[in-house]
Amino acid sequence: MHLSRTVFAFWAAGLTGHIVLLVVLLTRHRARTFPVFTTLIAANILNSIALYEIALRGSAHTYFIAYFAFASLDLVLQLAVTYELARHVFCPTGTWAPDIRKGFLLLVLTSLAIAFVLACLPSPPEKTILRTLLDRGNLFSSALQCELFVGMIAFSSTANLPWNTHVARIAQGLGFYSLVGLITEAGHNILAGTSIAYQNVTYLRMSTYLLCAGYWIVMLWLPAPAPQELPEEAQRQLFTLQRRVEYDLRKLRALKR
């Protein structure tokens, strides 16, 4: 399979970006905090190398099968990253905030349904089943990610849960990529796979991803703002207040019944 110069340039830039990002994640000790995100980046490196090898030595069909397998893995890992970020925001103490749990579950189910409907709607021109499935799958993934990120922003805002700096940066990158991805995948779903427009739309998606990778490299390299220390007296006060409110609430809950 022949690779054009543009495709090769995108491939090289993507691989370099991912390697640099992985080095940043490991050397700045972010991998411990974001193990799934680190796995996603490592999987992308493996993906780039494997697909390049197959593109050079394998047939177009083998390449497409491998591409489909990696795209599926990417979808699963991206959803896992979203869950990882949600855990950072909504489980600050290790357990899910009870005022969020039900709402979040509802958000996931609604998002799945809307993304599914959106992905089923376009009627693509003549394409192979695998290609159609891939384009629809990508559209589904982008729509789902967009919905989940917006839902997470809304929930954290109404429940007053703060976003840690690095969590927010990863989410911003993924959210922006999903939003652009939604538009490009809409294009992919209605354009013929061999057209120039289809290719340009792919380049747009790749450029956006490179932009996001650059953003992550810089943001994850920079340290998060140093936390302040709460005076001991205030900490005791906070503890007493919580105990007291909890005790009073128990009485109120009993009255409610």
Partner 1 sequence: MTIRNLDFFGFLFIFLASILGIGTYYYLRNRRRQLYPYGNWDELLKRLAPLDHQNLERIAADPTALAAQDNHWVETMSPEDIWRLLGGMRGIEVMEKNCSVLVDLVFYVQQWYPEALLIAEQLRLNAREVEWHIGRLKATAKSGRPPAAAAEYLQQAVAIYFQMTREVLALYQQGNLPGLADLQRAL
Instruction: Report yes or no: 136 and 189 within 8 Å, Cβ to Cβ.
Output: yes
Q: Which residue has the tokens 């940043």?
A: 24
CA-to-CA distance for 34 and 106, rounded, in angstroms? 25
Least separation, in Å, of the C-beta of 3 and partner 1?
31
How many other C-beta atoms are found inside a 10 Å radius of the C-beta of residue 162?
10
Site string for partner 1, 76-105 (x = CB under 8 A): ----------------xx---xxx------
Which string of x and - marks every residue 214-233 that binds partner 1 (by CB under 8 A)? -------------xxxxx-x
Q: Which is nearer to partner 1, 16 or 157 (CB)?
A: 157
For partner 1 (CB under 8 A), the number of binding residues is 56
Q: Count of CB atoms within 10 A of residue 252's CB?
A: 9
For partner 1, give the closer residue by CB, 5 or 94. 94
By rule CB under 8 A, what string of x and - marks binding of each residue 8-47 to partner 1? ----------------------------------------
Residue identified by tokens 């896992």 is: 80
Site for partner 1 in 157-196 (CB under 8 A): 157, 159-163, 175, 179, 182-183, 186, 189-190
Q: Binding to partner 1 (CB under 8 A): which residues in 105-134?
A: 114, 117-118, 121-123
DSSP state of 127: -
Query: Please, which residue, 70 or 96, has the CB nearer to partner 1?
Result: 96
Query: Which one, 69 or 238, has the nearer CB to partner 1?
Result: 238
Q: Which is nearer to partner 1, 33 or 39 (CB)?
A: 33
Residue 91 is inside which H or E element, if any?
A: none
List the alpha helices (DSSP H) in the chain. Answer: 5-27, 35-57, 60-90, 98-120, 129-159, 165-190, 196-221, 232-256
Looking up tokens 């021109």 gives 125
Q: Which of 25, 21, 145 minimizes the C-alpha distance to 86?
A: 145
**Residue 107 to residues 26, 101, 115, 119, Cα–Cα distance (Å):** 33, 10, 12, 18
The single residue among 69, 154, 197, 222 that binds partner 1, judged by CB under 8 A, is 154
Three-state DSSP state, 121: coil
Task: Please state the closest distance from residue 246 (CB atom) to partner 1, in A.
Answer: 6
Interface residues with partner 1 (CB under 8 A) are 92-93, 97-99, 114, 117-118, 121-123, 143, 146-147, 149-150, 153-154, 156-157, 159-163, 175, 179, 182-183, 186, 189-190, 227-231, 233-242, 244-246, 248-249, 251-252, 255-256
